[in-house]
A and B are shown apart, each in its own frame.
Chain A
Amino acid sequence: MKPIAFVIPWYGESLKGGAEQFAWQFSHRLADRGYAVEVLTTCCKSFLEDWNSDHLAQGEETIAPDLLVRRFKVKVRSSQDFHGANMRLLELSTEQFRTAGPGIPDRDAALFIQENIRSGAMNEFIEKNHDNYQAFIFIPYMYGTTFDCLPIVADKAYLHPCLHDEVYAYLPQVEQLFHSARGILYNSSGEKSLAEALYGPGIHNKGVVVGGGVESAAEDELTHLSSIGGVDIAEARYFLCLGRRDRTKNTDLLVQAFRKFKLSDMSNPIRLFLAGPGTLNYTDESCDILDFGLVSEQEKESLLHHCLALMQPSSNESYSRTLMEAWLYGKPVGVHRHCLATCEPVEQSGGGWIADSEPAWVALLREATGTDGNAMDAMGNNGRMYAREYASWDAAMDRYEKALDITLQPSADLETPAGRRLHKIVQLTAGVTYGDAISNQAMFIRDHLRHLGYVSDIHVEVLDPQCAAEATVYQPGLLDDADAVIYHHSIGSSLSTICAEFPGPKALIYHNITPAHFYAPYDQHVASLLEDGRRELVAMVGAFSCLLGDSDYNANELLDAGAVKAGVLPIAVNPDAWQQVPCQSVLDRFGDGRRNILFVGRISPNKCQEELVLAFNHYRVLDPESRLLLVGGYDPEDKYYRQMIHSIEALGLGEDVHVCGKVSQQELHAFYRCSHLFWSMSEHEGFGVPLVESMWFDVPVMAYKSSAVPETLGEGGILFDDKRNLTELAFLASRMLHDKLLRSNLIAGQRSRRLDFHPGRVQQAVHSLVAELERQCEAGVSRNAV
């Protein structure tokens, strides 16, 4: 196998810094496992040195069997410009970026990247020799070496970003890196969540949480000290805070909270011990706080061994080593809610407590003190099991290896239907239009059929020019060489009789016909088409033996129409669809901190956008700064559309309600990114793809309970069954927008539900469909049968 290359500006065993340590460890351990590993780095010695100097010799050096280091001379650049830009960047607070709004000043961003540490020689080398390498791992994300070289080898580039919630993460060029890389390797699940929050769900499928390893003396028979500097630590009851002590690590917050806690409970003998490098000393005898300062390794291990629990108040970590160390000792931990890297492991494992503000930390300390020994042990044990999984080098390296081979196609085993008789399976649908759910589903099925080895095409009655490559207009005779047909039925169409009469194996996928009564007041023509479609359905049901719906709701309509049995083939919603940089103009316009309420769907009477406008008008009293974004195509002459526009104007909402029309994928991506709530008043949905898309963007959903909406939402979102009490709806919306705990619980449920529509899961249903068609073929339902 060709060698794997690590690309990092500095490389050395004793270098401080998480990324440098990871690079050292992972490269060595991969080499230990027998892979050929190379490290491409500069001649600069370390992060702290002058980036324009070459301290080390250029050239190759084999530092271990299978481990070769190549050093390249740095490119001299203007450190003054760089530092200037860097200073200005650091002054910006990340708070202002959370809204995915107008970002970093372009000039500073450009300077930061241009004048970053890089090596021209390395760039040339990679351009010339990239074919000789199996894969490239870029670590971390914000240095010139990554910016320059990753795009060159994007199709075999893996990014190991060591991402924090810091200013650099918001550079647009960084987002591009994430989208371009083939795979992304994360230190913790919190880091992955942060990346998806910053860059959208498009990177979900290609990210893998690898974790890291933590060496711990917990299992060793090391003699743990029982006193340090005259202070007895074996008998003392104390909480421990390890690591660099300074304001960015929130040490102040912890100390203040501990003081307040002590004041409220002076008889409690519990103490707070701190240890680690840093210039500030927090010792305060009156409140039982003792700061040991910098301690030796053995002293640190002893402190961990004897403590009751570890407190890690930092909100700025991508991977917390001390957290894992404490857990390997079986001690529970207290962490900060805003630091996903520490908060998620605690949530997932139940190995500690979480707090954010100072009063919350006081309450956390009180709860921790009040927890009895058994409960503490149980929590510590939960943490220990998690740490053994995610802080063990062996487990991490296993995942690393797997990650470098990842294909990111869903791993469900392909049950290739046995005894395959069919060769060409064709799909027919009334029309294929850009951005339409049915069209996308047809394309998904077609792609998967082709993946299974079938020849498969889509034929339509009406073809959107934008999708010209995806389908062909039906001509008589196109079905002559087709072995099986899948018909997507959603509205009256001439294709339906053609399919019904097809003699070979066939299946009908019913995408729901909007009940005609919605359109009756607005468009008689469409209403009658819909009625025709419904009548046709009854006829169709008789003609097909394999009947499927997008949802149980649709399947039930099939049964009502006379079907004997009906299956379900959910619509696949693939986060890979969002692998593009979102439209910046949309982000600039709407991502400015004002609350955005979103609804995606064609402007139509059954989706009730006008009612949504009225409800939004009501909500506006509580939040005059909010906006309603209506994304979805419309016909300007359509009566319902005009009625809605009239309402908007009559209420004077022209500035706050935006009817955006049909948008591109990039624009839609941006809309989801800058929205805070998805609000549906729709009274009829056959499936509701935007509901699932919202879940991928962590946008909480509130929806009127109708048709297939509850089924699609599953455990995500909140449903209401009364849409007339606008005041209550307004307060619900207000809660869903502002209550952080509610939002995080909602998002947790949505994150779980959205996976049910991942292509990997839906594929099983496609296989069943194919198997059914094959079975029909075997049963003699052949086009050649007389």
Chain B
Amino acid sequence: MLETANNRIDIQALDRQVMWEAQKYSYLWEGAGSLSPVGSEVPEPIDGNIADSIAAAAAVANVESPHYTLDRYKAPLRWLARGAARGVLYLSSIVTHAQTHFNYHVVSGLDLVNRRFERIDATNRLHAGIIGWLGDVLPRVGDQVLAIEKQMVAVTARLGQMDSRLSQADKERVDHGQELELIRERLPRLEQQMNAMAEQLAQQAARLSLLERVARQPQVKDGAGAGAGDGATPVINANASSALDGLYMVFEDHFRGSREQIRERLGEYLPLVDNYLAAGHEEVAAVDLGCGRGEWLQLLQSRGVKALGIDSNTGFLGQCEEAGLDVVESDALEYIISLPDESVAIITGFHIIEHLEFAVLVRLVDEVQRVLCKGGVAIFETPNPKNLIVGACNFYADPTHVRQIFPDLLEFVMQSRGFQSVSLRYLNPHPQEQQLATEEAPILAGQLNGLLSCARDFAVIAYK
């Protein structure tokens, strides 16, 4: 562990660095304690084998011991010779003793020198290896640097070109921008003109179909149809004039949504139809009160159900007829009243009941209950006042809306008028992007969303 009181130095980083290097490069010291070279190779002799020479010298360094052999002499002479030799050696040891010591010192000195050289060789080899590696790497690095420099030159040239192109493009963009501005200014006016024309067209179309109808039907229902003055059968659209039909058609397109959207939403109810069909009923008849543009009728048609649409808006009726749907022009309540008991399996009314006074609604519920077959289903969808935005604001977008229906009230009415398994379904909440963001105050946002972004419509589904 390293320490310092010098706060200019990050001592812990230094400590880690040193430890890491020590571990990584510890191999450099392997074999360095002993005198064998790194890599444990046997050193090559420079000129002959020095080690052998030294060993040989060491072998005869001792001047005082006999090196010759007396074996060739016969026995008694041998002993004599040996004795004499020993005597001579003993006497001469006065001189040779020092010589022996000298020899030994010289030999060991040479040995040390030899070892020294071995170590130097090892180091040199290590260095040579490193230099060799450097020699390999450096030219490559140099080449790479050159290549990069060349690229840089090219890149700079390209950049210059791109610069000029960019400034050209800029200029053009400015010009285009100006043109766009002019166009933009004119667009709103064009839109307005188009809208006006569309409205006029729609009205013309309504007038035309009314005329056609009048031309086709021999009599108008004089007695029963005069409706307006007859107090017994209240009619729904008491003050609807055909002139407004055209406006209403355009309104539908504008506010309610496109046909495709409505068809998609109404597809919600198809499972109910499928269930009914799957139960094996035959001769399934369906009536859609206030069929409007006929989206539900089309869906029923796709399921092979005989469906009849009732509406009082001539324009819509014309459209439906052109689409090959069965429709009847009539006031909804009047028509239901005219039907026999238990004659229809599926009765639907999408966004009609909010156009009725309460008394009329109750009457309609009773009649529907009478007309439905056993096990038949009635579906009424209407705006959900529990969504405050709908209830306080959007509801009034349609000038023909009369009153909002409180969901639980409708459920209660249906139940008390004899329907079985009455259920409410809440539909069509605001999409995510229109809801309040929940990051900052999740609880509050959640509560507010519950009031403002919840289901915009609800439907009551009741069985007989």
**Interface residues in chain A, defined as those with a beta carbon under 8 Å from any beta carbon in chain B:** 263, 266, 286, 618, 621-622, 624, 652, 705, 710, 713-722, 725, 727-728, 730-732, 735, 742, 745-746, 748-749
B4 A621 Cβ-Cβ under 8 A: no
The count of A-to-B residue pairs whose CB atoms sit within 8 angstroms is 77
A731 B18 Cβ-Cβ under 8 A: yes
| Distance between A705 CB and nearest chain B CB, rounded to angstroms | 6
- The reply on B198 being an interface residue by CB < 8 A is no
Which 3 residue pairs of A and B lie closest in terms of their CB atoms, listed nearest first?
Answer: A749-B6, A745-B8, A715-B5
B4 A717 Cβ-Cβ under 8 A: yes
> How far apart sit A531 and B32, CA to CA, in the bound complex (Å)?
41
Q: Cβ of B7: which chain A residues have Cβ within 8 Å of it?
A: 715
> Which one of B9-17, B205-213, B368-376, B438-446 contacts A?
B9-17
Q: Cβ of B2: which chain A residues have Cβ within 8 Å of it?
A: 718-720, 732
> How far apart sit A286 and B155, CA to CA, in the bound complex (Å)?
13
> How far apart sit A705 and B9, CA to CA, in the bound complex (Å)?
17
Q: Cβ of A621: which chain B residues have Cβ within 8 Å of it?
A: 28-29, 32
A286 B115 Cβ-Cβ under 8 A: no
A652 B116 Cβ-Cβ under 8 A: yes
Give which listed residue, B6, B29, B112, contacts A618 with CB less than 8 A: B29
Give which listed residue, A624, A714, A727, contacts B26 with CB less than 8 A: A727
Q: Cβ of A716: which chain B residues have Cβ within 8 Å of it?
A: 6
Q: Which residue of A lies closest to B38 (CB)?
A: A621
Q: Cβ of A714: which chain B residues have Cβ within 8 Å of it?
A: 5
| Distance between A778 CB and nearest chain B CB, rounded to angstroms | 40
A732 B29 Cβ-Cβ under 8 A: no
Q: Cβ of A745: which chain B residues have Cβ within 8 Å of it?
A: 6, 8-9
- The reply on B21 being an interface residue by CB < 8 A is yes
By size class, the interface of chain B is: 20 to 34
- The reply on B156 being an interface residue by CB < 8 A is yes
Q: Cβ of A730: which chain B residues have Cβ within 8 Å of it?
A: 22
| Distance between A594 CB and nearest chain B CB, rounded to angstroms | 15
| Distance between B388 CB and nearest chain A CB, rounded to angstroms | 49
B1 A720 Cβ-Cβ under 8 A: yes
> How far apart sit A730 and B115, CA to CA, in the bound complex (Å)?
24
- The winner among A263, A266, A714, A727 for most chain B CB atoms within 10 A is A727
5 contacts between A and B (CB under 8 A): A717-B4, A720-B3, A721-B3, A730-B22, A731-B17
- The reply on B19 being an interface residue by CB < 8 A is yes
A732 B3 Cβ-Cβ under 8 A: no
| Distance between B433 CB and nearest chain A CB, rounded to angstroms | 36
Q: Which residue of A lies closest to B120 (CB)?
A: A624
| Distance between B145 CB and nearest chain A CB, rounded to angstroms | 13
> How far apart sit A731 and B17, CA to CA, in the bound complex (Å)?
9
A718 B4 Cβ-Cβ under 8 A: yes
Given known contacts A728-B18, A728-B22, is B5 in contact with A622 (CB within 8 Å)?
no
Give which listed residue, A713, A718, A728, A742, contacts B19 with CB less than 8 A: A728
- The reply on B123 being an interface residue by CB < 8 A is yes
| Distance between B128 CB and nearest chain A CB, rounded to angstroms | 14
- The reply on B152 being an interface residue by CB < 8 A is yes
- The reply on B119 being an interface residue by CB < 8 A is yes
- The reply on B272 being an interface residue by CB < 8 A is no
Given known contacts A263-B152, A652-B116, is B21 in contact with A731 (CB within 8 Å)?
yes
Q: Cβ of A710: which chain B residues have Cβ within 8 Å of it?
A: 3, 5
Given known contacts A624-B123, A732-B2, is B29 in contact with A746 (CB within 8 Å)?
no
B22 A727 Cβ-Cβ under 8 A: yes
Given known contacts A621-B32, A718-B3, A718-B11, is B22 in contact with A652 (CB within 8 Å)?
no
Residues facing A in B102-117 (CB within 8 A) are 112, 115-116
Given known contacts A718-B11, A745-B9, is B22 in contact with A725 (CB within 8 Å)?
yes
B9 A722 Cβ-Cβ under 8 A: no
Residues facing A in B17-52 (CB within 8 A) are 17-19, 21-22, 25-26, 28-29, 32
> How far apart sit A721 and B22, CA to CA, in the bound complex (Å)?
16
Q: Cβ of A713: which chain B residues have Cβ within 8 Å of it?
A: 5
- The reply on B266 being an interface residue by CB < 8 A is no
| Distance between B110 CB and nearest chain A CB, rounded to angstroms | 14
> How far apart sit A618 and B116, CA to CA, in the bound complex (Å)?
16
- The reply on B159 being an interface residue by CB < 8 A is yes
Give which listed residue, B5, B18, B116, contacts A735 with CB less than 8 A: B18
Q: Cβ of B160: which chain A residues have Cβ within 8 Å of it?
A: 286
| Distance between B158 CB and nearest chain A CB, rounded to angstroms | 11
> How far apart sit A749 and B4, CA to CA, in the bound complex (Å)?
10
Q: Which residue of A lies closest to B9 (CB)?
A: A745
| Distance between A721 CB and nearest chain B CB, rounded to angstroms | 5
Q: Cβ of A721: which chain B residues have Cβ within 8 Å of it?
A: 1, 3
Q: Cβ of B21: which chain A residues have Cβ within 8 Å of it?
A: 731
Q: Cβ of B25: which chain A residues have Cβ within 8 Å of it?
A: 727, 731
> How far apart sit A735 and B185, CA to CA, in the bound complex (Å)?
73
| Distance between A490 CB and nearest chain B CB, rounded to angstroms | 27
Q: Cβ of A618: which chain B residues have Cβ within 8 Å of it?
A: 29
A652 B11 Cβ-Cβ under 8 A: no
| Distance between A694 CB and nearest chain B CB, rounded to angstroms | 14
Q: Cβ of B28: which chain A residues have Cβ within 8 Å of it?
A: 621-622
> How far apart sit A720 and B28, CA to CA, in the bound complex (Å)?
22
Q: Cβ of A749: which chain B residues have Cβ within 8 Å of it?
A: 4-6, 8-9
A732 B18 Cβ-Cβ under 8 A: yes
Q: Which residue of B lies closest to A649 (CB)?
A: B112
Q: Cβ of B14: which chain A residues have Cβ within 8 Å of it?
A: 718, 732, 735, 742
> How far apart sit A721 and B11, CA to CA, in the bound complex (Å)?
13
> How far apart sit A748 and B6, CA to CA, in the bound complex (Å)?
9
B29 A727 Cβ-Cβ under 8 A: yes
| Distance between B116 CB and nearest chain A CB, rounded to angstroms | 6
A652 B29 Cβ-Cβ under 8 A: no
Given contacts A717-B4, A719-B2, 14 further A-B contacts (CB under 8 A): A266-B159, A621-B32, A710-B3, A715-B5, A718-B2, A725-B22, A727-B25, A727-B26, A728-B19, A731-B18, A732-B2, A745-B9, A746-B9, A748-B8
Q: Cβ of B17: which chain A residues have Cβ within 8 Å of it?
A: 731, 735
A742 B9 Cβ-Cβ under 8 A: yes
Q: Which residue of A lies closest to B23 (CB)?
A: A727
Q: Which residue of B lies closest to A748 (CB)?
A: B8
> How far apart sit A624 and B14, CA to CA, in the bound complex (Å)?
23
Q: Cβ of A652: which chain B residues have Cβ within 8 Å of it?
A: 112, 115-116, 119
Give which listed residue, B6, B22, B156, contacts A731 with CB less than 8 A: B22
| Distance between A722 CB and nearest chain B CB, rounded to angstroms | 7
> How far apart sit A731 and B2, CA to CA, in the bound complex (Å)?
12
> How far apart sit A243 and B22, CA to CA, in the bound complex (Å)?
48
B9 A718 Cβ-Cβ under 8 A: yes
> How far apart sit A725 and B22, CA to CA, in the bound complex (Å)?
9
B6 A746 Cβ-Cβ under 8 A: yes
